[in-house]
Amino acid sequence: MAASHSDHDWQQLWERVSEDAPPPGGVLMTAPPGEVNDAPALASEFGVFEAPMEDYDVVELVRFDRPVARGRVAFGDGFAVLGPVLPVGGAPVSGEHEAVVLARLAEEAYVEGAAVIYAPVDPAAAERYEALGWSRGGEL
């Protein structure tokens, strides 16, 4: 894995939030958590729930009490790492739903005192993250 342009050892936290290795040829996205764009408004049948776990927090988007997307965030000293936003129940995660989960994960990181958040993503996802206020921090 090529060296990334970060000041923190995000790899250890990545192991808490993802069962997979960082995407090969991917991009390390970074952002101050308070600068990630707000989530788009959702229809009334949707809700967002957060739960602290032992090693990370989880954010889940539900529709009529059925989960549709989930993401995790783990916290370091002054930083946090976001795992991928994954579908729950088989249907792919829409861009709008991904944005909602990412915004709430960033909010969780902000509340926990993180000055910066990291998210290793595949190159195709990098543009979606940039549209939400993230920057490219380097190649993986």
Domains of the chain: 10-139 (3.40.630.30)
Give the pLDDT score at 6: 65
Band (pLDDT 50/70/90 cuts) for residue 45 is very high
pTM of the model: 0.92
Separation between Cα atoms, residue 1 and residue 25, nearest integer Å: 9
Contact 116, 57 (CB under 8 A): no
Q: 48-103 pLDDT, tens per residue? A: 999 999 999 999 999 998 999 999 999 999 999 999 999 998 889 999 999 999 99
Separation between Cα atoms, residue 10 and residue 60, nearest integer Å: 22
Task: Read off the tokens for 89.
Answer: 């129940």
Give the pLDDT score at 8: 86
Is 26 a residue whose pLDDT tops 80?
A: yes
Band (pLDDT 50/70/90 cuts) for residue 40 is confident
Mean pLDDT of 3-31: 86
Give the pLDDT score at 106: 97
> Can you tell me which residue has the tokens 């990291």?
118
Give the pLDDT score at 71: 98
- Beta-carbon contacts of 5 under 8 Å, excluding residues fewer than 6 positions away, are 28, 137, 138
